[in-house]
């Protein structure tokens, strides 16, 4: 069965040619959803998380065993009630005793089941809480080299999926101990009651196993196909939501809806096949249960008639058969759950094992208020890939309180340089010094306190305006925050919002204009009150009034601080004490505006050619200057 997609009005440009199957959701998730059933390494890593709750796990296992015993006892009690309590001439006391015992067993059964469910649920929640917390804190510290290479959306969906399958595993694993015990118990009791009848009944088992084996191979491939189709469709959905502006701007909504409908259709077919296969086992198991019961009724009935067994024993057999297939069914399900959990556990431990390259040295010192705000690059060579340096032997110094503009064409290494000041990465050669200390020898916490960074794209978080300004200075009082906002000229627009400083910002501050976001990030840096301000100036065009406000705020922000600004605007460059010009990772010029103009190099050319920004430099000019510089 197929489903028809939503019928869009026909595109007038549609010439009937097959259209390119576009990018929507075309990325494939090639991760295994089934791992080995048992992977010692993964189990021992996950066990480390379960270990603190060991005592509770044993309580749950004990409860599940008590529950199993009570389940085994119930058919036996019924058989005793029939054979002894209701036998001709039996005293009423026997039956009353058995009924009382029955009530007790039911109570124990209920209590044990309650304890097991509760304790297992609690342990699973606790373990997952710990795993999530550990992962979160690890991913916050993890080296940016890993993050640079990792697709965030995929990492997120992977971690969420993996944590869920781990939860499923933890919750059901105690249950499977009970299932195994119940299975062994039922076989043992049946053999004890009458071994011949038991063997006769157990003959259905090989049939069941054979069917299971045949089924499992087909079911696995169907489940995997359904899982993959689902991932791809979800990927397309996520992409379409993230890119909704671009999609609407490019008028792709209709075509994307068609493509999505195709994907959804494929998922529907794959899911349908998987669920059909999942359902097929239920009638098979029911039929086998029926056959086994028929065997008991016929063979057992004959045995009762011939006086070989009591009628109560036959009734007990019937009850046991009814229960017999439940643990088998849940154990086979548990088998897939375990395989999934091993694959998920493997990926979770992989994330937990990602290196944290940038660590505090054992003898790291803390930068304090007495350390000045000087910054120095001493023969720095750095590359994200050490074989391809993006900064080559770069040296320059910024004295405490000085303002230096870092300029250069796109890709020249400006952003990389500022990442090194905050030690997001370590240099391959040379050193970066802050306050006279090599950044590798100071604690990261104190380095963060000494430097305030304003990135090109101001990142605002969901929460209030107040909380956002205080993001890097949780110690700042409300008055400090308001003062910072006033100083950078953000106070007026904040107070004109419906709830002033308590106004909630949408994701990434999307309910503010770019200029407003920029001013908030300036206020945030000012509230942090650091000695050094590192700023990547916004490149986006803003109106001249906002531009003026931002320039004013910048002056205020830099007062009494060392400032290193990646400058894209000529106004900012002219206000700097000194200018460092980078090109293709090499420092090619350095000096104040007049000196650089006199040098008649790249900087003066840029200025005389009257480009709006260094980023606009034509490539032939860049090449010419590069040749001159080397």
Ligand X SMILES: Nc1ncnc2c1ncn2[C@@H]1O[C@H](COP(=O)(O)OP(=O)(O)OP(=O)(O)O)[C@@H](O)[C@H]1O
Q: Of 164 and 539, which CB lies nearer to ligand X in the complex structure?
A: 539
Per-residue tokens: 504: 């909630």
Q: Of 146 and 335, which CB lies nearer to ligand X in the complex structure?
A: 146
From the list 164, 73, 69, 67, the residue with the least C-alpha distance to 116 is: 67
Q: Of 148 and 502, which CB lies nearer to ligand X in the complex structure?
A: 148
Backbone dihedral angles phi then psi of residue 540, each to the nearest 5 degrees: -65, 150
- Where on the phi/psi map is residue 10: left (φ > 0), alpha (ψ -120 to 50), or beta? beta
In whole angstroms, the minimum distance from the beta carbon of 390 to ligand X comes to 4
Q: Of 301 and 386, which CB lies nearer to ligand X in the complex structure?
A: 386
472 contacts 457 by C-beta, under 8 angstroms = no
474 contacts 529 by C-beta, under 8 angstroms = no
In whole angstroms, the minimum distance from the beta carbon of 585 to ligand X comes to 7
* Distance (Å, whole) CA 623 – CA 521: 36
161, 408, 515, 601: which one contacts ligand X (CB under 6 A)?
A: 408
Q: Of 456 and 495, which CB lies nearer to ligand X in the complex structure?
A: 456
382 contacts 390 by C-beta, under 8 angstroms = yes
Q: Of 266 and 587, which CB lies nearer to ligand X in the complex structure?
A: 587
Residues between 411 and 440 with contacts to ligand X, criterion CB under 6 A: 411-416
Task: Give the contact letters, 120-159, x = binds to ligand X (CB under 6 A), - = no.
Answer: ----------------------------x-----------
- Strand pairing category for 403-407 and 562-566: parallel
Q: Is 381 in the site for ligand X (CB under 6 A)?
A: no
In whole angstroms, the minimum distance from the beta carbon of 569 to ligand X comes to 13
- How many positions of this chain bind ligand X (CB under 6 A)? 11
In whole angstroms, the minimum distance from the beta carbon of 410 to ligand X comes to 4
* Distance (Å, whole) CA 85 – CA 97: 9
400, 410, 472, 604: which one contacts ligand X (CB under 6 A)?
A: 410
Q: Is 390 in the site for ligand X (CB under 6 A)?
A: yes
Count CB-CB contacts under 10 A for residue 156: 11
* Distance (Å, whole) CA 274 – CA 573: 64
In whole angstroms, the minimum distance from the beta carbon of 605 to ligand X comes to 18
Rounded to whole angstroms, what are the CA distances from 79 to 3, 98, 210, 408?
Answer: 55, 10, 33, 91
In whole angstroms, the minimum distance from the beta carbon of 383 to ligand X comes to 8
In whole angstroms, the minimum distance from the beta carbon of 453 to ligand X comes to 14
Stretch that binds ligand X, among 337-345, 410-418, 517-525, 543-551 (CB under 6 A): 410-418
Contacts of 186 (CB under 8 A, 6+ apart): 72, 320, 323, 324
Output DSSP code: residue 361. Answer: -
Contacts of 346 (CB under 8 A, 6+ apart): 35, 39, 42
In whole angstroms, the minimum distance from the beta carbon of 490 to ligand X comes to 25
* Distance (Å, whole) CA 438 – CA 403: 21
Q: Is 384 in the site for ligand X (CB under 6 A)?
A: yes
Residues between 290 and 319 with contacts to ligand X, criterion CB under 6 A: none
439 contacts 378 by C-beta, under 8 angstroms = no
Stretch that binds ligand X, among 283-291, 301-309, 405-413, 496-504 (CB under 6 A): 405-413
Q: Of 150 and 495, which CB lies nearer to ligand X in the complex structure?
A: 150
Q: Of 408 and 458, which CB lies nearer to ligand X in the complex structure?
A: 408
- The residue behind tokens 């909504």 is 253
Q: Is 389 in the site for ligand X (CB under 6 A)?
A: no
Q: Of 148 and 478, which CB lies nearer to ligand X in the complex structure?
A: 148
Q: Of 21 and 388, which CB lies nearer to ligand X in the complex structure?
A: 388
Residues between 223 and 242 with contacts to ligand X, criterion CB under 6 A: none
Sequential DSSP letters for 89-100? T--HHHHHHHHH
Task: Give the contact letters, 543-572, x = binds to ligand X (CB under 6 A), - = no.
Answer: ------------------------------
Rounded to whole angstroms, what are the CA distances from 492 to 262, 495, 506, 555?
Answer: 51, 5, 20, 18
* Distance (Å, whole) CA 59 – CA 65: 10
Binding site for ligand X (CB under 6 A): 148, 384, 390, 408, 410-416
């Amino acid at each position: 069965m197929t489903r028809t997609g939503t019928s869009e009005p026909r595109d007038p440009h549609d010439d009937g040619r097959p259209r390119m199957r576009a990018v929507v959701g075309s990325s494939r998730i090639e991760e295994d959803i089934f791992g080995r059933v048992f992977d010692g390494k993964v189990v021992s890593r996950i066990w480390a998380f379960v270990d603190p709750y060991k005592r509770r796990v044993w309580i749950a296992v004990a409860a599940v065993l008590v529950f199993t015993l009570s389940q085994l006892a119930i058919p036996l009690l019924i058989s005793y009630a029939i054979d002894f309590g209701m036998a001709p001439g039996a005293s009423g006391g026997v039956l009353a005793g058995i009924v009382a015992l029955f009530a007790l067993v039911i109570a124990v059964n209920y209590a044990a089941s309650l304890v097991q469910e509760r304790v297992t649920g609690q342990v699973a929640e606790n373990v997952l809480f710990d795993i999530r917390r550990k992962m979160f804190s690890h991913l916050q510290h993890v080296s940016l080299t890993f993050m640079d290479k990792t697709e965030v959306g995929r990492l997120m969906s992977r971690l969420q999926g993996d944590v869920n399958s781990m939860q499923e595993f933890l919750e059901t694993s105690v249950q499977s101990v009970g299932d195994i015990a119940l299975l062994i118990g039922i076989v043992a009791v049946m053999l004890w009651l009458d071994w011949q009848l038991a063997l006769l009944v157990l003959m259905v088992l090989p049939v069941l196993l054979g069917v299971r084996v045949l089924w499992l191979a087909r079911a696995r491939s169907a489940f995997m196909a359904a899982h993959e189709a689902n991932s791809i469709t979800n990927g397309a959905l996520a992409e379409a939501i993230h890119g909704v502006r671009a999609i609407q701007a490019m008028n792709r909504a209709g075509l994307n809806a068609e493509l999505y409908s195709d994907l959804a259709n494929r998922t529907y077919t794959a899911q349908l096949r998987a669920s059909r296969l999942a359902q097929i086992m239920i009638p098979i198991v029911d039929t086998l249960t029926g056959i086994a019961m028929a065997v008991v009724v016929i063979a057992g009935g004959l045995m009762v008639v011939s006086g070989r067994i009591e009628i109560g024993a036959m009734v007990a057999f019937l009850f046991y058969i009814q229960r017999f297939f439940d643990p088998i069914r849940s154990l086979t399900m548990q088998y897939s759950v375990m395989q999934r959990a091993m694959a998920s556990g493997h990926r979770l431990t992989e994330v937990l094992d990602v290196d944290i390259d940038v660590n505090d040295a054992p003898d790291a010192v803390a930068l304090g208020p007495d350390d000045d705000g000087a910054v120095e690059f001493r023969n720095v060579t750095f590359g994200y890939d050490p074989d391809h340096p993006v900064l080559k032997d770069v040296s320059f110094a910024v004295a405490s309180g000085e303002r230096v503009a870092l300029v250069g064409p796109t890709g020249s290494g400006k952003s990389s340089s500022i990442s090194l000041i905050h030690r997001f990465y370590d240099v391959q050669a040379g050193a970066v010094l802050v306050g006279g200390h090599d950044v590798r020898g100071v604690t990261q916490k104190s380095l963060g306190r000494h430097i305030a960074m304003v990135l090109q794209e101001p990142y605002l978080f969901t929460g209030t305006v107040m909380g956002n300004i205080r993001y890097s200075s949780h110690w700042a009082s409300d008055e400090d925050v308001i003062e910072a906002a006033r100083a950078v000229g953000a106070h007026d627009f904040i107070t004109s919002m419906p709830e002033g400083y308590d106004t909630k910002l949408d994701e990434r501050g999307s309910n503010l204009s770019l200029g407003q976001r920029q001013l908030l990030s300036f206020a945030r840096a000012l509230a942090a009150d650091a000695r050094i301000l590192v700023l990547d100036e916004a490149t986006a065009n803003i109106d001249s009034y906002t531009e003026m406000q931002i320039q004013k705020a910048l002056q205020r922000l830099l007062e009494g601080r060392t400032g290193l600004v990646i400058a894209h605007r000529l106004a900012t460059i002219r206000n700097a004490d000194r200018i460092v010009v980078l090109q293709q990772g090499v420092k090619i010029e350095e000096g104040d505006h007049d000196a650089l103009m006199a040098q008649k190099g790249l900087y003066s050319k840029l200025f005389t050619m009257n480009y709006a920004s260094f980023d606009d430099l034509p490539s032939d000019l860049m090449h010419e200057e590069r040749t001159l510089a080397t």
